[in-house]
Structure formats: structure tokens, C-alpha cells
Structure 1
């Protein structure tokens, strides 16, 4: 193996890890905006999708051999990208950010990471095949991790509100839909094209409901910094470097490295926002991260038997 290849592999690892860290910090920035600047989650979702979508579509337009307009030439593809934007993108973005507003960035991110379990369940039903042992193990771990996270191991009470649990689980289900629905589009068109249009369409449609032209929250230097971070580092830059990492280390390895995202959200919230994260919280987080690792490895086992289950996503909603 040449030194140039070694450097590319190292670069791929760094880019994938950086993307995961950026996504995790983005969730903590959102928590800061909700808790300390009184920014409305729906308002933030609207502007994130509008601005990031516009940037990503522009990036897709100027890219060599761009397919940004081809996606609209076939009616069935146009319908799918509209559904992805209006249902998939809006749902995964809003449920995640609203879950943060009800709990915290760490808890919301970890709960959303059980989404791949719903993806596995969908493909098990679709393909009429029982899950393999590793997937059953992942299901048990996901339930265990969620139980520890929301109850701290006790049966008689929740440590976060019922609403936070509900929206966190809903966020995981939305992530599953967001992962499954655009699979055919992503086989025919580039990820920047699909995700860029999805975000822009989602932002425009959601704006009808949220009226983003009216300012939300208290705006000062800290607000602008957190808002800018979510758009640039938490969306555009993280998405770009994650895609670039796929060329060097592949989707499976990159997806495994993205399991760092919940840890990034938790550590940032503990250090920056003084979040009280107990031993049970950390334990539940690690158990759910192990779930994602097992499901990603299970894809390799099933690759020759079933269609690939798309655990990795075109763009993290975090």
C-alpha cells in the first residue's frame, strides 16, 4: 500500500469523524438557541432548510456533470423528491429539533439513533425474511439503551417528560422514513442534488406553516454564532466532507465513524451548557451506539443475501 493511499485513508477517517462531531455540536447549538435565546424550533427548522437547501442546490449546479435539473424530467422522480422534501425532510428536521427543545441535545440525538432499528424492521417485512441474529441483538440493545436513557433503570418514573420521549421516538421513526424513501433517487442522482432539493422544498413548504419572516428569540452575537454554525458547519460543511470521506473509506466505515455524533452532542452539552449527564445516561448512550455499530456490520453479513439496508443517511438531521 502506497503512502499516498495511506494519506487518503487517514484523510477519510478525519473527514468522517469531523462530520459526526460537527453534527453533534450542531444539536447543542440548537439547545442553546432554544433554552437561552428563546428561538422557536419550527422557525429554526424553516431557516436551516431554506438556507442550507439553497447552498446545496447551488453547489450541485456548479458541480461538474451536474444532474440538478435532470431530477425534474421524469414525473415519478419529481413526485418522489417532492415527497422527500415535504414529508421526509420536514419530519426528520422538526421532530429532532423539537425533541431537543423538550429535553436536551444529547438525549434527542441518542433517541434518534434508534432509527436504524425501524429501518431493519421495514426491510424484514418488505423482504418477508426474519432478521438475522445480529439484528435481533441490535433490537434488544436499542430497547435497553432507550430504557436506561429515559428511566435511569427504574420502572416507576421517567427522567425526561413523556412528550420528550414521544417526540424522540417519533424522530427515530422519521429518520427511518427519511433513510428509506429516497433510496431509488439516490441510485440515479447525486446526494447533493437529492438532499439539496429536499431541503429547499421542505423549507419552502414548512415556511407556509411557520412564517419565518417574523423574527424569533433574542438575537445577539451568541445567537448569530450558533445559528451560523448550524447552517454552515452543522449542515453544508459536514455534509460535504462526509460525502468526500466515502471516496476514501467507503460508506460502511464512514457510517460506523458517525456513531461519534451522540457522544459529540453529549460532551458538548455537558461542557458548554452544564448538562447533568448521569452514569445511566452515558450507559444508555453507549448501548445505543453499539446498536448502530452492530446494524452497520450486519449489512456486510447480509449483502450477498438481501438488498442493502441503507443505515447510512444522505444527510444527518442533527
Structure 2
């Protein structure tokens, strides 16, 4: 039985790791798209990705007997899935692609990786959960790492564009809202239905501002292939793998493996896009990754303290 448990744990670790690597590759594919087609906008790419992936997940859920339409039968759950799409998925995907477009995949992914610290601040200011020592240390590490990336050691000047910071910061906030908003409806309706509807709602909402069918783009076979990579191997496949991994490993373990996403984005960008990263970028990125890993080890304690406090009250 112990061997079987170890095999299941290893399977979960492998599934979650591959999922995070695929997410990192998705950012590199998006960066390649923006470079090869300057007329391509981040909002158009996000719309195509969200609507396509959302439909695929909902169809998959229907075929798997998950009854995806059930989420719309109650106004409260319907409002939550709409909030999840608009306030969670739009910043975590559209703002991330904007950061990739104006910067590069490694820096955009590392800045987005600060999302768990926003969750910590949320629990501190709104739920009055005092951070532990390891969380404070992690925050300091993340701050120093971000400072190194932003200033390259020169505190009187910025080493990266403020636009990258703006979009990357919004995508980090999106990581927090993307994690917090759907927590109460995921156990009842399942990840396929919640994420599928969230993606579809978010994608359709964005079309109100820039209808993707009105954008006239000339794309070649290579760019179409990159688009398919982003939709299938950068969204649908890693989502299913990551969700399946949670059957074998704890969410805290899975969140530690998120570190593979910025690592993959960095490695593949250097290898295939000739992105030049300085020692400040690498050191800062490593500090942020280590800080988030330290925070993730304690994240379940944060949630437990919050639930206990809510129960006692």
C-alpha cells in the first residue's frame, strides 16, 4: 500500500510539474506570436484563447457528466462564476499577455508569480490573519527580488519599463482573485464547469471592447500552430493535468511546483528567443521563486486560521 501511495504521489507531482512547464511554454509561444506578427494584440489573443478553451472544457464536462449548466440555476453561483471570469481570469490572462507583449515572457511570468503575496495581504487587511515569521521573511525576499529586477541595483532608475510593471502587477492581482473568488463553488460544481464558464464569460466580455471577428489579421501556418499551442497545450491540457494532479497530491505541494512556470518561461525564452537576462534578473527571479515556495508551504495554515476564526465567530 505504501508503494502504491508513493506511486500516486509521484504521478501527481509529474502531472502538476508538466502542467506548470506547459503554462511557461505558453508565455513563450505568445511572445513569439507578438514578435512574428506586430499587428496581433494581446486582447485578441486572449479572446481566442478564452473562448476556444472555455468551449472545449464545457463540452468535455458535458461528455463527462458534470452538468455544466447547473451552475446557472442559482443567482449566487451564477454571479460568482461571472465575477471569477471578469475579475479573476481577465487580469490573470489578458494582463499577463500584455506584459509579455511589452516585455518578455520570463519577466512577465516572474512578476505574475508574486500573486500569492497579494493573497497574504488580503488575509492580513481584510480577514485580520497575522502573517507568520516565514511569511514575513518571504515577503522581504520577494520585495528584494522584485527590486533587483526593476532597478538592477540602481535605486534611482528603472531597468524595465513601467508599462511592464503595470500589466505584470495587474496579472499578479489576477492570480490572487483567480484563486480566491471560485473557492466556494469549485467543490460543488467542479473545476471543469467553473473554469470553462469563467473562460467563456471572460472571453465574450472582452469582445465587447474589441470583437475578434472584426480584427483583420494575416496569419501564416507557423502562427496558427503557435495559437493552437497556446489554446490546447498552454490552456486545456495543463488545466486538466493540474486538476487531475490534485487527486494525488495536496494543493500546497502543487503550488510549490508552480515554480516550474517561470523557470520554463526563462529557459525556453533564452534558448529559442535569445532573450538576454542579466544577473540581477536571474537573482531577483530566484529570490521570488524561493519566497513563493516558502509562502506556499504555509498557505494551508493561513486558510486554516481563517476558517477557524470564521467558525469561532
Q: Same fold (TM over 0.5)?
A: yes
The alignment status of 1:190 with 2:157, answered yes or no, reads no
1:258 match: secondary structure: helix
Q: Is the 8 A contact 1:146 1:288 kept in 2?
A: yes
CA distance 1:303–1:129, change in 2 (3 Å): closer
Q: Is the 8 A contact 1:67 1:190 kept in 2?
A: no
Deviations 1:251-291 (A, max 9, x none): 11111112110000011110010000111111111111112
Q: Is the 8 A contact 1:40 1:217 kept in 2?
A: no
Query: What is the aligned partner in structure 1 of residue 311 from structure 2?
Result: none
Q: Which moved more, 1:248-257 or 1:226-235?
A: 248-257
- The CA deviation at 1:10 is 2.1
RMSD over aligned Cα, in angstroms? 1.6
- The CA deviation at 1:92 is 2.0
In the alignment, the residues of structure 1 paired with residue 87 and residue 303 of structure 2 have an alpha-carbon distance, to the nearest angstrom, of: 29
Deviations 1:93-128 (A, max 9, x none): 111100111110000000001111111111112222
Q: Is the 8 A contact 2:129 2:305 kept in 1?
A: no
- The CA deviation at 1:209 is 1.0
Return the TM-score normalized by structure 2.
0.93
In the alignment, the residues of structure 2 paired with residue 118 and residue 67 of structure 1 have an alpha-carbon distance, to the nearest angstrom, of: 33
- The CA deviation at 1:129 is 3.0
In the alignment, the residues of structure 1 paired with residue 216 and residue 31 of structure 2 have an alpha-carbon distance, to the nearest angstrom, of: 15
Q: Is the 8 A contact 1:50 1:203 kept in 2?
A: yes
Q: Which moved more, 1:114-123 or 1:82-91?
A: 82-91
CA distance 1:303–1:86, change in 2 (3 Å): closer
**TM superposition outliers: structure 1 runs of 4+ over 6 Å:** none
Query: What is the aligned partner in structure 2 of residue 52 from structure 1?
Result: 53
In the alignment, the residues of structure 2 paired with residue 289 and residue 44 of structure 1 have an alpha-carbon distance, to the nearest angstrom, of: 27
CA distance 1:218–1:275, change in 2 (3 Å): farther
Return the TM-score normalized by structure 1.
0.92
In the alignment, the residues of structure 2 paired with residue 138 and residue 117 of structure 1 have an alpha-carbon distance, to the nearest angstrom, of: 9
Query: Which residues of 2 match residues 170-181 of structure 1 at below 5 A?
Result: 170-181=170-181
Query: What is the aligned partner in structure 2 of residue 237 from structure 1?
Result: 237
Unaligned runs of 5+ in 2: 309-313
